[in-house]
Amino acid sequence: MSRPVTLFTAQWADLPFEEVARLAGEWGFDGLEIACKPQHLDIDRAIDEPGYLDSRKEILSRYGLGVWALSNHAQGQVVCDDPLDFRHRSIVGARTWGDGEAEGVRQRASEQLKRTAIVARKLGVDVVTGFTGSKIWRYIAMYPPVSQQVIDDGYEDFAARWNPILDVFDSEGVKFALEVHPSEIAYDYYTTARALDAVDHREAFGINWDPSHMVWQDIDPVNFIVDFADRIYHVDCKDTLIRPKDGRAGRLGSHLAWGNPRRGWDFVSAGHGSIPFESAFRALDAIGYGGPISIEWEDSGMDRMHGAPEALAHVRSLLWERPAASFDSVFSVE
């Protein structure tokens, strides 16, 4: 089950790219899942500025790191979201936001996703992880009620906006891996199935398996791997601690801050929560997943300088080699 273990750089975007690479190399990571943020990987500079991409490669090489996936979650979020507001402006940057006219923002974000596929190919990377946004997430509570046509339109809107993006991914030989996540077109088991249906199960569109958003929704992350085996294109390891039910804490978080002990669940460093990572890794091995395991570190109660290398050690402890033969093969004697 040996495979590369990488560090997702999104939670380290306040540090220069070289500093993140240095830390990851010293801790023993095999590589980085690079977030396409200007301070780590500027997509426009990577295409338009000679030498820029070589400078990123040189930094990776200097610290003995590889790269198997890029991430462009922020740009993907605004492709389908409706309405767009101050939250989106804060994550997409001035180039994409422009004058703030919603359709223009969505189109510029779509172009950024297409350019991300081009940059991925230049780096020899086969997968881009990210979000899609959703026109219909705001209707999750089902009140005031909406018709089925409104929901259907949400999936049609997703397909219409993402198929042209996926055309570029296809032409570059790169796959997009959606992180199944609240606020996306696919946020649980059945919405994932419907999103795949909406794009006719085209090969360019798959899943970034992140169990942290599944367990608090009562979704079994291991069954998810088995049932969507042909669509698991990338793996992010982030843990979630489910606290004992006390009759007060609800699934939706109650607008309580991360780390508040009154919450019913919280994100924690890998190995400190409720995710059955051993069972999940065995399932990934069974379906033939050969890509990286990327540590997405989020824990409001632990310093990341402690948490990241500790999470790496925990994940590595579960990535043992498969046996050369079935254990019961020795029971038969010819």
CATH number reported for the structural domain that contains residue 282 in this entry: 3.20.20.150
What are phi and psi for residue 237, nearest 5 degrees?
Answer: -105, 105
User: How does DSSP assign 257-319, residue by residue?
Assistant: PTT-TTSSEEEE-TTSSS--HHHHHHHHHHTT--S-EEE----TTS-HHHHHHHHHHHHHHT-
Q: Is pLDDT of 39 > 60?
A: yes
Q: Is residue 329 part of a domain?
A: no
Q: Is pLDDT of 1 > 60?
A: no
Parallel, antiparallel, or unpaired for β 265-268 and 239-242? antiparallel
- Are 179 and 128 contacting, i.e. CB atoms less than 8 angstroms apart? no
Q: Per-residue pLDDT tens for 223-276? A: 999 999 999 999 999 999 999 999 999 999 999 999 999 999 999 999 999 999
> Six-digit token pair at 323?
């046996």
Q: Per-residue pLDDT tens for 287-328? A: 999 999 999 999 999 999 999 999 999 999 999 888 877 777
Q: Is residue 207 part of a domain?
A: yes
What are phi and psi for residue 4, nearest 5 degrees?
Answer: -65, 145
Of the candidates 206, 204, 224, 230, the residue with the CA atom closest to the CA atom of residue 289: 230
What's the confidence (pLDDT) of residue 334?
Answer: 65
What's the confidence (pLDDT) of residue 224?
Answer: 98
Q: Is pLDDT of 176 > 70?
A: yes
Q: Is residue 334 part of a domain?
A: no
Q: Is pLDDT of 181 > 60?
A: yes
Residue 162 host element (H or E) = helix 148-172
Q: Is pLDDT of 330 > 90?
A: no
| Residue 324 CB partners (closer than 8 Å, separation 6+) | none
State how far the Cα of 128 lies from the Cα of 158, in Å rounded to an integer: 18
Q: Is residue 330 part of a domain?
A: no
> Six-digit token pair at 324?
């050369």
| Domain hosting residue 173, numbered range | 5-324
Q: Is residue 294 part of a domain?
A: yes
Q: Per-residue pLDDT tens for 100-159? A: 999 999 999 999 999 999 999 999 999 999 999 999 999 999 999 999 999 999 999 999
Q: Is residue 87 part of a domain?
A: yes
Q: Is residue 333 part of a domain?
A: no
Q: Is residue 189 part of a domain?
A: yes
What's the confidence (pLDDT) of residue 333?
Answer: 64
Q: Residues of the chain with pLDDT > 90: what percent? A: 95
Q: How many domains does the chain have?
A: 1
Q: What is the mean pLDDT of residues 65-72?
A: 98
